[in-house]
Amino acid sequence: MSQLYPLSFEPIFQYRLWGGRRLGAWMDKPLPDGPIGEAWILSDRDDHAGQVIDGPLKGSTIAALMAADKAAMLGDLAGRFDRFPLLLKFLDVAEMLSVQVHPQDDKAQLIPKGESGKTESWVVLEADPQCRIYAGLKAHTTAADLRALTAQTADDHLASFKPEVGQSVLITAGTVHSLGDGVMVFEVQENSDVTFRLYDWDHIDAKTGKPRDLQVEEALQCVNFAQGEIKPVTPVQMAPSPAKRERLIDNPHFRMERASGSEPFPVGAKGAPRVLVCIEGQGSVEHHGADFPMRRGAVILLPAAVGDCLFRPEGHATLLDIAVPEQS
């Protein structure tokens, strides 16, 4: 295999009946026809395998790179994972996402072979005045309440708030959630695609002319009824310079920091992979004297073998810097 370097991937756009058309302009990419709800920007999945955009490894999938040298890709994490453990997306949620829940890792009877549970997190990128995030349950909500959800009763049982740009939200597996009516978010999650729908806001899928299937009983087996309402996470201030760095999310599955500044700042880590996502401005990652450009909407995977790099903003830029904790 060619020597590893900072790897960029072609986004995979996904039709979703609740999607819109913002992702094309936001990422400066042409969109397929129809409502596009998701851009998978780092995906190690058989059904949607992200491919390297450029360099000697152009066209390679993460799975192929992992098979060739998992230790070079994952470093100290290589013994824990058979595939890259995270899935990264941009979501354009023009209408309401279904009210749904993801299983915990220990719900093996509900999780298809090869999948895992699904904890995820969002960073709000755009937020229309009417948009909403539902996360968690109001006090005394029961399984019977969730079985009978309607648009009229959702606010009686589901906790919610008006999202603002820059906020981050942690949705642990077992959390009842929804979002939409004009919100765009970045999402990082466990590498799983297992979702159980409780209610779908009476949507009709234009492709089929029918409502989408619900999985109410499976969902109820996963719901954490004791959890209560979920609010945006309070960022933890870290380094003020050369970039302002904030810890947004810290859980056993992933850690996410936000780095923002106009001066060059270090990224990457020895012996472990890092993922960089540009959400504002542009710049380049410097590695072994070569520059790897990034602009808004771009993702770069720094394999463990790449180690420390330097990000050079062109003007002011903001990156999300994502790691997998050493211990789960």
Domain coordinates in residue numbering, the chain: 7-222, 236-323
Question: Cβ(122)–Cβ(277) under 8 Å?
Answer: no
pLDDT per residue as tens, the chain (328 positions): 569 999 999 999 999 999 999 999 999 999 999 999 999 999 999 999 999 999 999 999 999 999 999 999 999 999 999 999 999 999 999 999 999 999 999 999 999 988 999 999 999 999 999 999 999 999 999 999 999 999 999 999 999 999 999 999 999 999 999 999 999 999 999 999 999 999 999 999 999 999 999 999 999 999 999 989 999 999 999 988 899 999 999 999 999 999 999 999 999 999 999 999 999 999 999 999 999 999 999 999 999 999 999 999 999 999 999 999 986 4
Query: Which CATH topology does 7-222 take?
Result: Jelly Rolls (2.60.120)
Q: What is the pLDDT of residue 153?
A: 96
Which pLDDT score, from 0 to 100, does residue 241 have?
85
Q: Which CATH architecture has domain 236-323?
A: Sandwich (2.60)
According to the model, what pLDDT value does residue 321 have?
A: 98
Can you read off the two tokens belonging to residue 117?
């549970």
Long-range contacts of range 154-160, CB-CB < 8 Å, 24 or more positions apart? 154/99, 154/199, 158/99, 158/134, 159/134, 159/135, 159/228, 159/229, 159/230, 160/132, 160/133, 160/134, 160/135
291 neighbors 55 (Cβ within 8 angstroms): no
Going from the C-alpha of 166 to that of each of 75, 173, 184, 248, the distances in angstroms are 31, 22, 11, 10
What pLDDT is attached to residue 1?
56
Residue 326: per-residue pLDDT: 81
pLDDT score at 164: 98
Backbone φ, ψ for residue 147 (5° rounding): -65, -30
**Cβ atoms of residues 146 and 51 within 8 Å:** no
CB 192 within 8 A of CB 108: no
